[in-house]
């Protein structure tokens, strides 16, 4: 395992709070050494427990209070430490110090999450994924609180409680958990058509990512960059994964939820432990303030994206995640993000969803973390000093000296003192404002469908079919025929074919008047078909048993390792299996404890004895069939071709992504063909 690069002041700060307790004497929380921890204090060996047993009461009271309220949204999450480096000084655009010096490694803590489910829900459910980054900069903490989808369901924060109430389990029976396929959610969507664009993303492959390491992140909202001269630009933030953007297929995602509900968090943890550090490049889109009204969308509308073909993404730096948390609760669960945690050079726009979040996040942390001092928890503390006249409150850790807790004062020289902007003090951008107080939205927010159509136009035929299938599944779970019809009618405003296919699937009528807006534009950047494809960190299952072709399997495993691909041996039983040349390999998993859905590709070893043994297990044939049906690369030794046939793979008519080795004679060439097939991620040209 590679050792993480821990040269950050944040890691040094956290070290003082870490303790393994190994070899230490057992004490109470007050430091009193404990002589017995197996039995409570009783009045006789069979008598009642005594109230004076302070050790029992302390231990049990702490246990009774070990859980804090889970997040209302983003409850299911996992996180990692790392660092960020900018590629070149960004002084032309922003005065934020952490975006100036390429030699500086800014510590970060990143939390990935699902939105709708509880802490105990599965990782691979169809849902939006949170992608939140805390930068521990020398000017204070900066939180980029985003998602893996660049737009959102609603335009105004006042509707957020309604959205979440609709998608959460229905209140009369607390069903379903971590799922949007139910009446209240789709009733909300059909009656709040500002969600039309987001629901297209939600039903696309973006909602079932292959891993946290292979999904994009977006700041969602429009922010501002402000430079030293006071010039501002509108900005949107993008995280681009170096490994590309890849997803599961829906059947696979559902099965993984049962086979390994911790699939995504395990994937992230194991990758970091192995030294396969996840990397993301930070990109920004910028629009000059004078160009605010240049586009056919409102730049402040959170249900709209800025097409990359119109507003290019400028890549400005890279983030590397290189260390797992020491303790899940202390770090991942107690971390507190807030879009209002900014540094000089980053400011807000009047996006009405963002404006509401600036209030909501403080409020929720007060409730969840028990008071106003959540910033003093180790994971939330900035690496720079902080000083003010705030005092007291629950869980106060700072021991404040002196008698002064107010400003202005003379007793301590009117300190701590405000810092002028010229010396690094934060100053809000002086935007000119005018208008009456109203409860309205701009007319420029009333277009609910053009970008939903843009998204549909940008999808490949395969991705379009997945969207149709997702709508058919989700709306097919809705009990109300009226709501099903409302959804179909809404889809008629996006695409006639889409609406008709969903109508057929759920038994609804075709939209009465399907006349979508005339939108011919597309954005290739939105299709995952155009993403980066690399072999790095892919996982391959090798099915083998005693008598497998040793030279073939050994040669393949060596080439897989050189390509950055992990291979695991799957067999009937744990232990060692022996090859035809007398060498042994250790089995990693059995057919019972594993599944094809947990791998990116599979290989069935050659060697007649091994094949004959595996053929006796229907699970082995099902393993192959399932991988093939999920469009994954499938490799096989010459003798194993009969197992492919048993799984229904017909080689004579062509089987894209299937590589049959030439009996070990051309291991290098065949292995490379197999690796090339793995790199493609999926082979969609198989019959759908």
Percent of the chain with pLDDT over 90: 79
Q: Active-site residue among 74, 202, 221, 238?
A: 74
Query: Tens digit of pLDDT for each residue in 665-674?
Result: 668 899 999 9
Q: So what's the architecture of 77-376 in CATH?
A: Beta Barrel (2.40)
Q: Strands, DSSP E only, in 387-468? A: none
CA atoms within 13 A on the CB side of 513: 1
Q: Residue 48 and residue 51: Cα distance in Å, rounded?
A: 9
Mean pLDDT in residue range 481-489: 97
pLDDT, position 8 = 65
CA atoms within 13 A on the CB side of 120: 1
pLDDT, position 3 = 47
pLDDT, position 663 = 65
φ/ψ bin of 670: left (φ > 0), alpha (ψ from -120 to 50), beta (otherwise): alpha
Sorted by sequence, the CB contacts under 8 Å of residue 679 that are 6+ apart come out as 533, 534, 535
Task: Give the residues across from 281 on adjacent strands.
Answer: 240, 318
Smallest Cα–Cα separation from 493: which of 521, 523, 520, 513? 513
Q: Could you tell me how many residues make up the chain?
A: 688
- Helix/strand/coil for 457: helix
Q: Are 210 and 247 in contact (CB under 8 A)?
A: yes
Q: Active-site residue among 55, 81, 141, 147?
A: 147
When the pLDDT of each residue in the chain is averaged and rounded to a whole number, the result is 94
Strands 217-218, 539-543: parallel, antiparallel or unpaired by DSSP?
unpaired
Domain boundaries, the chain: 77-376, 463-529, 533-679
Active site residue 341: no
Confidence band of 247 (pLDDT split at 50, 70, 90): very high
The dihedral through the CA atoms of 506, 194, 178, 455 has a sign that is: positive
The dihedral through the CA atoms of 415, 420, 423, 428 has a sign that is: positive
Q: Residue 578 and residue 610: Cα distance in Å, rounded?
A: 10
pLDDT, position 1 = 45
Query: Tens digit of pLDDT for each residue in 352-405?
Result: 999 999 988 988 899 999 999 999 999 999 999 888 888 898 889 999 899 998
Active site residue 322: no
**Dihedral angle at the C-alpha atoms of 629, 635, 638, 641, nearest 10 degrees?**
-10
- Helix/strand/coil for 571: strand
Q: Which two tokens stand for residue 69?
A: 């309220």
Q: So what's the architecture of 463-529 in CATH?
A: Up-down Bundle (1.20)
Residue with tokens 């100053």: 427
Q: Are 106 and 76 in contact (CB under 8 A)?
A: no
pLDDT at 18 over 90: no
- Which of the following CATH numbers is that of domain 533-679: 3.30.450.20, 3.40.47.10, 3.40.630.30, 3.40.50.880? 3.40.50.880
Q: Which two tokens stand for residue 152?
A: 């959102």
Considering only CA atoms, give the Rg of the chain: 28
Strands 633-636, 140-147: parallel, antiparallel or unpaired by DSSP?
unpaired
Q: Residue 196 and residue 478: Cα distance in Å, rounded?
A: 18
pLDDT at 4 over 80: no
Q: What Å distances lie between residue 513 and 313, 368, 380, 480, 504, CA to CA?
A: 38, 48, 54, 21, 16
């Amino acid at each position: 395992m590679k050792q993480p690069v821990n040269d950050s002041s944040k890691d040094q700060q956290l070290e003082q709070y870490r303790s393994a307790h190994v070899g230490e004497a057992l004490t109470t929380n007050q430091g009193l050494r404990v002589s017995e921890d197996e039995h409570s204090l009783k009045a006789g060996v069979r008598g009642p427990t005594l109230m004076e047993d302070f050790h029992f009461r302390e231990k049990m009271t702490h246990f009774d209070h070990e859980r804090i309220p889970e997040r209302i949204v983003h409850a299911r999450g996992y996180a990692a430490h790392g660092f960020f480096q900018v590629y070149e000084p960004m002084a032309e655009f922003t005065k934020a110090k952490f975006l100036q010096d390429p030699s500086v490694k800014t510590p970060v803590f990143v939390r990935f999450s699902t939105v709708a489910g509880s802490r105990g829900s599965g990782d691979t459910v169809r849902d939006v994924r949170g992608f939140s980054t805390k930068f521990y900069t020398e000017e204070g903490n900066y939180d980029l609180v985003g998602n893996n989808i660049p737009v959102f369901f609603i335009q105004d924060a006042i509707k957020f409680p309604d959205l979440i109430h609709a998608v959460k389990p229905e209140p009369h029976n607390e069903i379903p958990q971590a799922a949007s396929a139910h009446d209240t959610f789709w009733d909300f969507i059909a009656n709040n058509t500002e969600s039309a664009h987001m629901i297209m993303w939600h039903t696309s492959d973006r909602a079932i990512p292959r891993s946290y390491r292979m999904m994009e992140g977006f700041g969602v909202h429009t922010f501002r960059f402000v430079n030293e001269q006071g010039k501002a630009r509108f900005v949107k933030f993008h995280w681009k994964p170096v490994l590309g953007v890849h997803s599961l297929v829906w059947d696979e995602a559902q099965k993984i939820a049962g086979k390994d509900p911790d699939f995504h968090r395990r994937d992230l943890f194991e990758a970091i432990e192995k030294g396969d550090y996840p990397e993301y490049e930070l990109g920004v889109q910028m629009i000059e303030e004078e160009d605010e009204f240049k586009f056919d969308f409102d730049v402040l509308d959170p249900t709209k994206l800025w097409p990359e073909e119109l507003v290019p993404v400028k890549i400005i730096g890279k983030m590397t995640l290189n260390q797992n948390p020491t303790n899940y609760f202390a770090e991942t669960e107690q971390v507190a993000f807030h879009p209002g945690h900014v540094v000089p050079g980053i400011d807000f726009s009047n996006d009405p969803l963002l404006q509401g979040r600036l209030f909501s996040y403080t409020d929720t942390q007060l409730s969840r973390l028990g008071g106003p001092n959540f910033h003093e928890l180790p994971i939330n503390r900035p690496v720079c000093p902080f000083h003010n006249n705030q005092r007291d409150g629950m869980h106060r850790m700072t021991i404040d000296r002196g008698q002064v807790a107010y400003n202005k004062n003379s007793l301590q020289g009117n300190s701590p003192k405000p810092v002028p902007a010229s010396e690094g003090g934060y100053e809000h951008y002086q935007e000119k404002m005018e208008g009456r107080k109203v409860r309205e939205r701009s007319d420029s927010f009333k277009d609910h469908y053009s970008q939903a159509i843009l998204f549909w136009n940008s999808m490949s035929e395969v991705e379009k079919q997945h969207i149709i299938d997702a709508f058919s599944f989700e709306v097919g779970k809705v009990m109300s025929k009226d709501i099903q019809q409302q959804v179909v009618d809404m889809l008629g405003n996006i695409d006639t074919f889409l609406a008709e296919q969903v109508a057929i699937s759920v038994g609804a009528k075709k939209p009465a008047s399907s006349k979508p807006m005339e939108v011919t534009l597309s954005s290739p950047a939105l299709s995952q078909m155009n993403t980066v494809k690399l072999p790095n960190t892919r996982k391959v299952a090798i099915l083998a048993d005693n008598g497998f072709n040793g030279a073939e399997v050994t040669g393949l495993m060596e080439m897989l390792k050189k390509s950055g691909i992990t291979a695991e041996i799957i067999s009937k039983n744990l232990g060692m299996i022996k090859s035809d040349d007398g060498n042994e390999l250790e089995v990693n998993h059995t057919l019972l404890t594993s599944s094809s859905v947990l791998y990116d590709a599979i290989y069935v070893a050659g060697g007649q004895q091994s094949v004959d043994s595996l053929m006796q297990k229907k699970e082995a044939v099902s393993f192959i069939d399932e991988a093939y049906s999920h469009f994954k690369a499938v490799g096989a030794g010459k003798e194993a071709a009969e197992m492919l046939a048993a799984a229904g793979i017909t080689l004579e008519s062509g089987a894209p992504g299937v590589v049959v080795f030439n009996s070990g004679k051309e291991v290098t060439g065949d292995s490379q063909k197999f690796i090339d097939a793995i790199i493609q991620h999926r082979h969609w040209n198989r019959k759908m």
